[in-house]
Structures are given as structure tokens and as C-alpha cells.
Amino acid sequence: MILTVTMNPSIDISYQLDHLVIDDVNRVSQVDKVAGGKGLNVSKVINLLNCDVLATGITGGYFGQFIENQLKQLELAYKFYHIDQETRSCIAILHDGGKQTEVLEGGPVLSEKEGQAFLDHFQGLLKDANLVTMSGSLPKGLGSDYYAKMVDLIHASGKKALLDTSGASLADALSAKPDLIKPNESELQQLLGQKIDLDDEEALKKALSSEVFDGIEWIVVSLGAKGAFAKHNDQFFEAKIPKIKVVSPVGSGDSTLAGMAVAMDSGLAPQEVLKYGMTTGMLNTMQAKTGWIDPELFTEYHDQVQVVEK
């Protein structure tokens, strides 16, 4: 079973408006409310691939219940740790021919006691998991070394830790040596304190070989329509993907992580792990829904991904 972690989930609300009027009333007829957060996107894609998944993280109040109800409808198993504060909502207003205005709540602020209680809850779930994905930001109140603590617990139980986060929570987790990280261009630059030209293969190889990444099995730099470049132990791989019709790229990185987790869980070779990630990433871009794929198309697109050692 793959255990997925979403520490700060949200109800993602989207409003479609022809025109957004500031400082006046906007009436909306097209409303969508979905259980969101990067880790929940990962969970949904793993579920759609028909693999065993258990979603955990922190939920609270009526909004937390809303999230759990939606997962129940998707027949996606979950065991969240419950707090008294309400789970957050994030609003995206799609307006004026392609513009997107977002209003994002910060979410609950956790006490040290709640942080420790979640770690205890999490530790209890590890025995049934083969590997764990952790995605997204940490709730306020938890130290930036919180993911490092989780990675230590995962490793102590002999399981693999796949981490997709950014900023201080990523930087502070590196010393715990997660088994996979997925930094994008700005995260790489932030971690290394220098500009990296992603089109320069030698520069990219050098960057991924930096001391800060020592001991991390997988470093995956996904490059949108250009595929990905990755380091697996001492090997480098380039993944090339076919040109496809993109409907919405939101959540493609999460879908990539889901595909890689499924392949790793099945014990597939590194090239196949990357190929799975590219396939699920692409399949997500072909859907309007975030964190969603059509599994029937998997083989067709998987066969068009090329992974070469560099």
C-alpha cells in the first residue's frame, strides 16, 4: 500500500465569471468544490491506477468532513488526524478570457502537541505502507524540519520517502535523505544558491551532483512539455515525451509523483519509474480536472515516452 500525506489540504473552490468586478457584487453560476491539496491529487491518481492507497494528513471541522466525504465517494481510503480548527478553502476565480485570480487561506495553525500527535498517528500507519509520498506545504506552527522528522520515521520502519515540497521545508528535509525529491527550476536555484540553465545538460548534471543531494536516490526535475531530467543514484536520465493536446497542466507534477510511486511500489527499473511518472503527468494535462487521469490511455502514452541514459 502507498501512504500519501497531505498536511494542509483544502477545499478548492473555482468560480467561473465572464468578468470580475472589483468592489462590487459578482454572482456566480458555475461553481466547483473539490477536495484539494497536492497530496490528495497524488492519492487520486494512484487510486485511478487501481493501486492500494491510504491518504493521511490533517483535517478539521465541517470542511475536513467535506473532504473526507468526497474521498469516500471516490472509494479512496483515508485516515486523517483530526483537529478542532477548520480545514482551509482556496478560491480560484477564472475570469476575463483566461485570467485566474486566487484567494488562498493559510489554514490552521498547529500547536506543538498537535504536531507530535500527528507524528504518533503517522507512525501507526507506517507498518502497512511500502512507501510514503509527502506533498505540499506544512501547516503553520510546525517547524520547517517537520518533514525531516517524518522521513526519519519512514526510514526507521524500513520504507521509502518521496517528498514534493519547497522552500525551507524542502531544504531542511535534505539532511534526512528522502528517497525522492522533485525540485523545479526555482527550487533548485534556491537550494544551490545559483542560477541553473535547465537547457545546459552538463550544468544540470553538475547541479544534481551537488553535495546537498548526496544520498538521495532520486532527484527528478520535471520540465513540463519538455519531459524531465533525473538523477538516480549515479545515473542520469532524460525523459522525452510526445507532443500532446493540453487541456489543463495544473496538478501534473502531483500526477508525475503518483506514477513514480506506483512504479517504485511495483519494484520497476529506474527507466520505467520515470516513464510511469511522465505518462501520468501527461495524462493529467489532458483532463480539465486536477489530479485526474484516464487510466485507459496509459499504455498508449507510456509507449511513446523515451527515457535515455545521459
C-beta of 64 vs 251, nearer to ligand ATP: 251
| Residue 248 touching ligand ATP (CB under 6 A) | no
In one-letter notation, the amino acid at residue 24 is D
Catalytic residue among 172, 254, 265, 294: 254
- DSSP assignment letter at 208: H
Q: Give 19-39 as a DSSP string.
A: SPPTTS----SEEEEEEESHH
Cell 545559483 appears where? 194
Among 1-9, 188-196, 203-211, 253-261, which window interacts with ligand ATP (CB under 6 A)? 253-261
- Footprint (CB under 6 A) of ligand ATP, residues 276-295: 278, 281-282, 285
| Residue 39 touching ligand ATP (CB under 6 A) | no
Element (H, E) at 17: strand 10-17
Query: Which of 133, 165, 256, 287 is the binder for ligand ATP (CB under 6 A)?
Result: 256
Q: How far is the CA of 12 from the CAs of 67, 79, 93, 107, 148, in angstroms?
A: 10, 20, 11, 13, 27
C-beta of 110 vs 188, nearer to ligand ATP: 188
Element (H, E) at 162: strand 160-164
C-beta of 55 vs 283, nearer to ligand ATP: 283
C-beta of 176 vs 250, nearer to ligand ATP: 250
| Residue 8 touching ligand ATP (CB under 6 A) | no
| Residue 252 touching ligand ATP (CB under 6 A) | yes
Cell 547541479 appears where? 207
Is there a catalytic annotation at residue 200?
no
